[in-house]
Amino acid sequence: MKKAILPALLALAIVTPGAQAGTRKLDGKFNRADINADHQLSPAEFQATQSKRISVAYSLFRFNKTDTNNDGFVSLEEFRISRGGISGGKPTKMDIFLLADADDDDVLDPTEYVNTLPSGSAYPKALRSFDKKDKDNTGTLTPTEFGIRAGGGIPFPF
Ligand SMILES: [Ca+2]
Ligand SMILES: [Ca+2]
Ligand SMILES: [Ca+2]
């Protein structure tokens, strides 16, 4: 029986295991990242499936888009549907800021700022760029210092 290749739309939701090479590749990625083998990816496990150019905040953005049933985990099915977390679009600079602001005080401290940079970034270099942005030397970055203009919503440049 020969099956036509399904359009890469909602049909992906009913794709059978290993039906496509792409799916097998995704499954392998998923299984390698699933360190505790519970068949679910935590945010940290999910990050391991993402490129090093993707920041922690960007990965969280993708995680939230991928976790469509909002149970705090990405299942294999969710991972397949999102094609490995990439189908949710791009975050705005504001999205990145808010996701990185772990303590919700509306400013980024250096640790939070690092989470907006590619995950492979060296810490000393990150600190230097932090100091440059921290114009008033408060040790924290406001949205404006981070580069968000009023009425922003400009896609994060990648
Ligand atoms: Ca897991
Ligand atoms: Ca989920
Ligand atoms: Ca903060």
What is the structure's pLDDT at 55?
Answer: 96
Give the list of residues 6+ apart from residue 32 with CB closer than 8 angstroms, or none: 48
Q: How far is the CA of 96 from the centre of ligand 3 (A)?
A: 12
Single-letter code of the amino acid located at 65: K
Q: Count of residues for the chain?
A: 158
Give the residue among 125, 150, 124, 127 at the shortest CA–CA distance from 139.
127
Nearest ligand, CA 76: 2
Q: How far is the CA of 74 from the centre of ligand 1 (A)?
A: 9
Q: How far is the CA of 140 from the centre of ligand 3 (A)?
A: 8
Q: How far is the CA of 121 from the centre of ligand 2 (A)?
A: 29
What is the structure's pLDDT at 119?
Answer: 87
Q: How far is the CA of 136 from the centre of ligand 1 (A)?
A: 42
Q: Are 91 and 75 in contact (CB under 8 A)?
A: no
Nearest ligand, CA 78: 2
Nearest ligand, CA 82: 2
Q: How far is the CA of 108 from the centre of ligand 3 (A)?
A: 4
Q: How far is the CA of 85 from the centre of ligand 3 (A)?
A: 26
The ranges of the chain with pLDDT < 50 are: 6, 8-12, 17-18, 152, 158
Nearest ligand, CA 110: 3
- Domains of the chain, earliest start first: 8-81 (1.10.238.10), 93-146 (1.10.238.10)
Summarize pLDDT for 108-147 with one digit per residue, the tens.
999 999 999 998 889 999 999 999 999 999 999 999 999 9
Q: What share of the chain is helix, strand, coil (3-state, %, to 5)?
A: 45, 5, 50
**Can you give the pTM of this predicted structure?**
0.79
